[in-house]
Amino acid sequence: MKKQILTVAATAGFLFTSFNGAASAAVHTVKSGDTLWGLSRTYNVTVNDLKAWNHLSGPTIYVNQKLTVDAPAGTTPAQAATATTTTTYTVKSGDTLWGISRQFGVSVGQLKSSNGLSSDLIRIGQTLRVTGQAPAVAPVAAPVNTAVASASTSASALINEAKKYMGVPYAWGGSSRSGFDCSGYLQYVFNKVGISIPRTVATIWNATTPVPSPRAGDIVFFETYKAGPSHAGIYLGSNKFIHASSSYGVTISDMTTSYWKARYLGAKTKF
């Protein structure tokens, strides 16, 4: 079965399995768009719980993968020994405390407390301590596929794909290498890395998850020729984004210029 790397907001839907008539843990069949972070919110558990119950060593899950989403039968959260774990993370271009907290399954408050931060501002190259509770003995339901690829790797793949089309001319309604409009370009690039998004800027806006500040791979939206989101591109970091411009074709622009800064609506993510 072809595995598809997943990103963004969770979709509900799970089934129950039983063995020899005994009650068992709830199982969620992964769908396109699911993430561990989104599932943790849907089922009111932690990302670390989901990783432990399913033998996952990273944040990536795959279409049709079956995940245990509560404590397996015969176990209770109180019975699982826990140990405090601390690791370090070096801030990269496009990172935010919110994004880092989502990656490691901790809260923004925990990150700020562990690092003596009084605001949400972080800088490239800064080393952050990430402290949380990880199960020392992980209860499991059944062996699962443990192949992983991080969301940051997926974002890097997206950006690398996006840059392949630098200089392709702009074409209204275009969605091929002979010419793109802005949403046609986004849909084409995302599809190339296995992520499905809608065709128009407005529907992409509705199908993505808001983030407080953009990180590499997120989609940045602008209000240009009409009210509401009417133009979009892929954020690269350092206030740069790549998009299909009506004047220059596929190009990289600076969000801090007066034109784009005045029209910026916000950032949303598929990761």
Dihedral sign for Cα 89, 94, 97, 99, please: negative
Active site residues: 182, 231, 243
CB–CB of 25/71 below 8 Å?
A: yes
Q: Dihedral of CA 163/168/170/175: which sign?
A: negative
d(CA 117, CA 120): 7
Measured CA to CA, the distance from residue 190 to residue 175 in angstroms comes to 12
Question: Across the strands, what pairs with 135?
Answer: 82
